């Protein structure tokens, strides 16, 4: 099966544009020394340059057409083929119109052949350079598209992990309430269903800080049905404008939920979760009162959040665990 080099309309246009620009320049460089050495009048350039320009342009046309017909692995043959065509054509012109040439003899024919090879070499190099630049740009664009598609797919996988993770924890809370207080558990499930319907129907990957805080307050209200005064939640945002900044959906909720899940809560030693800011940096912290768990934490929620931040904003999530305080620092993105 023959494999030909694809040549787009844009590439053809670029090659012909290069041919139109370089042909007269190369013709001028070739004809000027010959005229000076032969002591001919400069007026000879008036017909020599256009004639050479025409033949050089023909060399371009031959090579452009060969690019479309010759296998990519055998592109070097277009240099040989086009050179052979041009040398043959020049001999024909020489014998038909010898008066057009200032020199004669073997030395002249050798020089003329070398000039043709040089011209074709220049055309070959320029055309290859143009094709190389175009191919590099095309590959770069394709790589960017593949990179974006890969990031989008990875983000979708991460996003799909968030909702089941949250739902699993919520059902665990409902199970605990059913054993302790069935009446509160019934009310909890009703409010949880409303919360999930509103929360999971949201399609945006990025929401405002205000929207995310509202989601957190609804979640805290659910948890306070179980824990009462054992759970405190405070928000201290220095300026209203920061509540219009952007962040990933479920980002704050993930941190609040993790704090509730991994710490013990009693009225004597309540869990306190605080959300504050320093400029466009959002700080979420809670006191540490580690709960005994049968299984070690997988940190899936935090790892998920860090990866989502990296994919969406190329920003880090800073996690600091001190003896008495657990703190996570997030970047709020300007709207």
Tell me the C-alpha distance between 263 and 293, whole Å. Answer: 10
The reply to whether 150 falls in a domain is: no
Share in percent of the chain as helix, strand, coil (round to 5): 70, 15, 20
Whether 229 contacts 267, CB under 8 Å:
yes
Residues 238 and 319 reside in one and the same domain: yes
The pLDDT tens digits of the residues spanning 90-107 come to: 677 666 766 666 556 676
Statement to judge: residues 262 and 321 lie in one domain: yes
The overall average pLDDT reported for the chain is 76
Q: Is the pLDDT of residue 273 over 90?
A: yes
Number of domains observed in the structure of the chain:
2
- Most confident of the following: 1-5, 199-203, 227-231: 227-231
Q: Domain check: are 129 and 204 in the same one?
A: no
Is residue 3 assigned to a domain? Answer: no
User: Which of 121, 143, 165 is the last residue in one of the domains?
Assistant: 143
Whether residue 30 lies inside any domain: the answer is yes
76 within some domain: yes
Are 122 and 238 in the same domain? Answer: no
- Considering 81-90, 133-142, 164-173, 202-211, the range whose residues carry the highest mean pLDDT is 202-211
Look at residues 114, 143, 172 and tell me which one is the last residue of a structural domain. 143
User: What is the side-by-side order of every strand in the sheet holding 231-236?
Assistant: 231-236, 271-278, 281-287, 325-331, 318-321
State which residues form the domain around 131.
9-143
Tens of pLDDT, residues 261-271 = 889 999 999 99
Three-state secondary-structure class, residue 254: helix
- Residue 151 maps to a domain: no
In-domain check, residue 154: no
Q: Mean pLDDT over residues 45-69, rounded?
A: 76
Task: Report which listed range, 18-22, 130-134, 255-259, is most confident.
Answer: 255-259
Q: What confidence tier does 38 reach under pLDDT thresholds 50, 70, 90?
A: low
Residue 303 belongs to domain with CATH number: 3.30.565.10
Residues 131 and 190 in one domain: no
> Please, what is the Cα angle at 239 between 237 and 243, to 5 degrees?
70
The pLDDT score that the predictor gives to residue 284 is 96
Residue 1 has pLDDT above 50, yes or no: no
pLDDT band at 316 (very low <50, low <70, confident <90, very high): very high
pTM above 0.75, yes or no: no
Same domain, 326 and 192: yes
> CA 261 to CA 299: how far, in whole Å?
12
The yes-or-no verdict on residue 226 having pLDDT over 70 is: yes
Is residue 206 located within the same domain as residue 309?
yes
Closest-CA residue to 290 (of 262, 260, 268, 325)? 262
- CA angle in degrees (0–180, nearest 5) for 268-272-275: 170
Contact 249/204 with Cβ under 8 angstroms? yes
Domain identity same for 55 and 110: yes
Give pLDDT tens digits for 274-300.
999 999 999 999 999 987 764 556 677
Whether 123 and 201 share a structural domain: no
**Section 15-19 average pLDDT:** 84
Question: Does a structural domain hold residue 66?
Answer: yes
pLDDT of res. 294: 46
Token digits for 244? 């219009």
């Amino acid at each position: 099966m023959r494999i030909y080099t694809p040549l787009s309309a844009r590439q053809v246009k670029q090659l012909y544009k290069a041919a139109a620009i370089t042909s007269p320049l190369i013709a001028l460089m070739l004809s000027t020394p010959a005229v000076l050495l032969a002591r001919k009048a400069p007026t000879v350039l008036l017909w020599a340059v256009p004639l050479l320009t025409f033949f050089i342009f023909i060399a371009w046309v031959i090579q452009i057409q060969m690019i479309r017909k010759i296998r990519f692995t055998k592109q070097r043959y277009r240099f040989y083929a086009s050179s052979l065509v041009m040398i043959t054509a020049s001999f024909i012109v020489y014998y038909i119109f010898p008066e057009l040439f200032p020199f004669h003899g073997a030395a002249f024919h050798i020089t003329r052949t070398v000039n043709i090879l040089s011209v074709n070499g220049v055309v070959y190099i320029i055309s290859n350079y143009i094709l190389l630049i175009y191919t590099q740009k095309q590959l770069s664009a394709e790589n960017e598209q593949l990179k974006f598609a890969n990031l989008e797919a990875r983000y979708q996988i991460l996003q799909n992990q968030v909702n089941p993770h949250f739902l699993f924890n919520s059902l665990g809370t409902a199970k605990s309430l059913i054993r302790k207080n069935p009446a509160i558990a019934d009310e909890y499930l009703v409010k949880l269903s409303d919360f999930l319907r509103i929360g999971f129907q949201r399609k945006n990957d990025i929401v405002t800080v205000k929207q995310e805080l509202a989601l957190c307050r609804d979640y805290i209200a659910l948890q306070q049905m179980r824990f009462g005064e054992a759970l405190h939640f405070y928000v201290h945002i220095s300026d209203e404008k920061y509540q219009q900044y952007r962040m990933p959906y479920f980002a704050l909720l993930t941190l609040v939920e993790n704090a509730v899940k991994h710490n013990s809560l009693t009225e004597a030693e309540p869990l306190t979760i605080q959300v504050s800011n320093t400029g466009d940096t959002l700080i979420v912290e809670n006191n540490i009162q580690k709960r005994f768990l049968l299984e070690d934490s997988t940190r899936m929620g935090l790892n998920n959040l860090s990866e989502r931040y990296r994919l969406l904003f190329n920003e880090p999530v800073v996690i600091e665990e001190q003896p008495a305080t657990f703190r996570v620092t997030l970047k709020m993105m300007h709207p």
